[in-house]
Chains A and B, each alone.
Chain A
Amino acid sequence: MKITYNWLKDFVAITLAPRELAERLTMAGLEVVSIEEQRGDFIFEIEITSNRPDWLSVVGIAREVAALTNKTLKLSEPRPLLKTGRHQLAIEVQGKKDCPLYTAKLIEGVKVGPSPQWLRQRLELIGCRSINSIVDITNYILFEWGEPLHAFDFDTLQAGTIIVRRAQKEEKIVTIDGIERQLTPDVLVIADASSPVAVAGVMGGRKTEVGEATTRILLEAAVFNPIVVRRGRRMLGLESESAYRFERGVDIAIVQEASLRAARLIEQVTGGTISAVKNAGTAKVPTRRIVLEATHLKRALAVEIPAGTIKGILERLDCEVKAISQKKYAVDIPSFRQDVKLEVDLIEEIARIFGYGRIPRTIPRIKPQIDHKDDTAVHRSLKEILIGLGLNEVVTYSLVEKGRANAAGQDTDKEIAIANPLSKDQAVLRTTLLPSLAQCVAYNLRQKQPYIAIFEIAHTYALDVTVKVQERYKLGVALCGGRLLWLGKDRAYDEASLLHIKGILEVLFERLGIEKNAYRFVMKSTYEGEVYVHGALVGTLVALRKEALEKFDIKNKEVVEAEIDVKTLLSLASLKRRFAPFPRMPGVTRDTTVIVKDNIPAGEILGAINRWGTSNSEGLLQGVEISKYYKGEQIPGDAKGLTISCTYCSSERTLTDGEINSLHAQLVDELKKIFNATIR
């Protein structure tokens, strides 16, 4: 909200320079975001928090300045209203809850024209466009006192009648901005005998707008229900200074006075006369009394504030304070402070004026707890492992376009839609991270990155079979392109493949204490595979199909991805470590190259060797590894060569060559038998 320095000075003697004043206001909770010097005045832009509608006026802020600087507020009384009564005004309020107070004044003989210079300038400085003298005066009082007013051209009101009621179905109104608006019974309106003439508390209607030809006006000052005003305004998609104040709460006690000040000003500026007055409802507000205990104040703020200071602060804030006992006060709250409801609200007021800066700083004695499960610690270590493998972490949007799951070959009927999306690119919650990662890959390919290795750990969201919302942590990994690796003096190009993804997951499994024989990678097709740990499905492998690559506009590149359900994976991990004795003798390795048919998976051969080792080697076979894989001229086209390195070791003795050779020969025979392998 904008106010000016000189306008404030009408109500309080200010001895502070504008900048100092701004600083004081900011530190009292009215953050001055800018000061601008213009036409001999200073315009303050202040952010008013939604709990303080009483600060949405010059007088309200002047009152705060007075409290902060220990001055008194300068208020002149408007000339009192003598009995008038030439006219009888017809006012009907249909719901007291919607409109607890409605006041109307008829002012006759007005001459509507441009406003005097002083009035124009004040409004213009705070960014309010001058319309005509009547409208300007209602705005002036609105900004000065915080009470929204409305002036109707009385002669355009059908039967000179005002009815405050809900709109009927199908009723319409053309508001002063010239737009025809469809109303509903949710909207509170001011109507004349025939139709709505204003949206109550929000905006006036064109039909009864005050113009140059107007001679008689009906001046409205009322209080409308904040929720009703808010619903109506939101439904109609309107914003106005008046609705802004009604929604936050207007001080009912100020309505009559603000109305009279406006009427008197209208008389003075336009030459009219108040000729009739009518009120519906009551301006009475019950006084709120709160008991404040000094011990509570000390308990909250950790500072002993002297009794005199406490009383002084509250009185400067227009509270009436009576001591009940030595450390207990009964505090009566002024009507404009609807936000002060509890003792803590008073504690804040005292702290605010006393100064937050004067409250000491201490470190609490925190009692650490061990029963809070900290998933972030495990995620942190997963992330550290992944960056150790050369992957870069990305953060992508959880909201994606509808049908996105398709690109990852997943069901789209599990997608949860956003009821009020900003755009169609963010219409649903993602069920998988994979398309987002593919999009990241595509972006970086466009930036000519030769090698892209990324991961993300984030939630995915889906409807389960019972249409319940499921939220799960997933790890997504994507690789694309290749990199040059140094091999001795040469560089070799290493292109990312599903085996690289597998390698990354194997490292993770190893770190999570998942043993080699506990996990399994299974390809369902050339493009999709599954990952199992202890027989449970923990994730998927994907090599993007051509259609998917095209969707992301990726050309001449392969993208391989994996998605792992983090929670399932962690539930299968065994992070506890126990020392296992290991053989003190070095092992002896025997290499054998076997040639087998292509359709025999390497995993099966390794499995067979391990099984053989368990049952036939008396624990001497300690390790098996595939150290070479080749195809080529020396072997048949439908076969592959695998060099298998077996390590034999005993923890008790040094094995003899003869012993190892005979053991290894048995193994080789076994392989020949099972896989019909030939040996080179």
Chain B
Amino acid sequence: MDIEAIKNQITSDLKDLGSLQGLEEVRVKYLGRKGLIAQLTSSIPSLPDEERASFGRKVNEFKSSLLALLDEKQKAFLAGQEGVNANTIDIGMPGIAPELGHLHPITKIIHEVCAIFRQMGFSIVEGPEIETEFNNFTGLNIPLEHPSRDVFDTFYLATKDTLLLRSHTSPVQIRAMKSHKPPLAIVVPGRVYRPDAVDASHSFMFHQIEGFVVDTDITFADLKGTLEFFAKAVFGKDISMRFRPHFFPFTEPSAEVDISCILCKGKGCSLCGRKGWLEILGSGMIHPNVFKHVGYDPKEYTGFAFGMGVERIALLKYGIDDIRLFFENDLRFLKQF
């Protein structure tokens, strides 16, 4: 390569220069031990005698002019770094950062709900999804052959022992109470199963969060206060609430809990079926028969329990209209949370 060609290349290299490091690369390319100038110098011995002196001089001149040029460039960089950056960085370009993933909305709701109860002093406990009839039904005061079981339609396993997929998270109440003495304040998130055909509002697999408190002096007023704190923490302090008498075999008295519709604020709309209220929880004082099944003395202890559907809370909170979206796992859905 002759001097003129190298000069042109330097000009173009310096034009594209974006950083001090780039400048250093240019320096190595031309002035380094194996750089282009060194190549020129090393070609001198092979030249005819009469050309050597003048070529050597030209190379030296070129080298010192290049050194001066690079020094100047370096000074410019150091002096006016901001100015240089302003010319080379288009801040309209996307920022550079690793892309973060997203938690599933069901997980987000479970975390949120558990955090609220943890704040109140509850412990989080889980249990198996494969259960016995005792833990899923009998221990919870649900007779095996009674209409009160109908809402808990259940998948059975084709195993030697009679086993089933839990149809609610309540069996964990039995497990926890059998293995621990009061006082207890426990929240149980988890998957549950019921043989329901899949549509916009049904799924054969869904999630529940169960909670219960047992001690010597737990009252229905405690149930109301706790669930009010929870509902307001999730849906905002402006909601109103009502506790409706209901029936669950494992609690007595029992209550369903409604909040004022989060969309119409109680006026009545399609979300709340014109009722102005949205049901979010089932609850009640733990039935003495449940205490007897786990070996607690109902005269000594009282307690309350509650349960909610996680998908239900997520549907309401995020304005999702089809439960199937949770299990389809479309990235365009997942990345919204």
Contacts and interface: CB of A to CB of B under 8 A. Distances in A.
Interface of A: 26-29, 31, 33, 49-52, 226-227, 230-231, 244, 247-248, 299-303, 342, 344-345, 347-348, 351-352, 356-357, 359-369, 371-377, 380, 383, 386-399, 416-422, 426, 429, 440, 443-444, 447, 449, 452-455, 458-459, 461, 463, 467, 469, 471, 483, 486, 489
Contacts of B146: 50, 226-227, 230, 247
Interface stretch (B26-34, B58-66, B215-223): B215-223
Contacts of A300: 219-220, 253, 285, 302
Given A394-B104, A398-B129, A469 B163 contact: yes
Contact of A469 (B122, B157, B222, B327): B157
A421 B158 CA distance: 10
Contact of B219 (A302, A387, A396, A489): A302
Interface in B5-43: 18
> Which of the four size classes fits the interface of chain B?
35 or more
B223 to A, nearest CB: 8
A490 B197 CA distance: 51
**8 smallest beta-carbon distances between A and B, as pairs:** A29-B245, A49-B247, A348-B253, A387-B101, A302-B221, A366-B121, A302-B219, A372-B123
Nearest to A439: B329
Contacts of A392: 101-102, 104, 331, 334-335
A375 B190 CA distance: 12
A375 B188 CA distance: 11
B225 interface: yes
Main SS of chain B's interface residues?
A: mixed
Given A348-B253, A366-B213, A399-B204, A248 B147 contact: yes
A366 B302 contact: no
Contacts of B329: 394-396, 440, 443-444, 454
Given A390-B98, A467-B160, A397 B205 contact: yes
A233 to B, nearest CB: 11
B103 A376 contact: no
A395 B327 contact: yes
Interface of B: 18, 94, 96, 98-104, 106-107, 110-111, 114, 120-126, 128-130, 145-148, 150, 155-160, 163, 165, 176, 180, 183-186, 189, 191, 193, 195-197, 204-205, 213, 215, 217-222, 224-226, 228-229, 242-247, 249, 252-256, 273, 285, 287-288, 302, 326-332, 334-335
Given A230-B145, A399-B204, A471-B128, A31 B244 contact: yes
B186 A372 contact: yes
Contacts of B163: 469
Contacts of B226: 363-364
A469 B288 CA distance: 32
A389 B215 CA distance: 43
A367 B196 CA distance: 39
A344 B103 contact: no
Contact of A367 (B94, B183, B285): B183
Contacts of B186: 372
Nearest to B287: A344
Given A50-B150, A351-B253, A359-B221, A393 B156 contact: no
A28 B147 contact: no
B158 A417 contact: yes
Contacts of A344: 252-253, 285, 287-288
B125 A363 contact: no
A388 B101 contact: yes
Contacts of A367: 121, 183, 185, 215
B100 A388 contact: yes
B120 A366 contact: yes
Nearest to A427: B158
Contacts of A26: 244
B244 A416 contact: no
Nearest to A449: B331
Most chain A C-beta atoms within 10 Å of own C-beta, residue among B128, B189, B247 = B247
Contact of A230 (B100, B147, B221, B252): B147
A422 B203 CA distance: 11
Contacts of B246: 29, 31, 49
A299 B191 contact: no
A444 B331 CA distance: 7
A555 B112 CA distance: 39
A360 B221 contact: yes
Contacts of B252: 342, 344-345, 347-348
A379 B222 CA distance: 31
Contacts of A356: 220, 224, 242-245, 253, 255
A348 B330 contact: no
Tell which of A362, A371, A453 has the most Cβ of chain B within 10 Å.
Answer: A362
Contacts of A374: 123-125
Nearest to A437: B329
Contact of B125 (A31, A231, A372, A458): A372
A244 B150 CA distance: 12
Contact of B244 (A27, A52, A399): A27
B242 to A, nearest CB: 7
Contact of B328 (A372, A443, A459): A443
Contacts of A29: 244-247
A416 B328 contact: no
A247 B147 contact: yes
Contacts of B330: 443-444, 447
A449 to B, nearest CB: 5
A523 B157 CA distance: 36
B334 A422 contact: no
A98 to B, nearest CB: 14
Nearest to B275: A33
A167 B288 CA distance: 39
Contacts of B217: 299
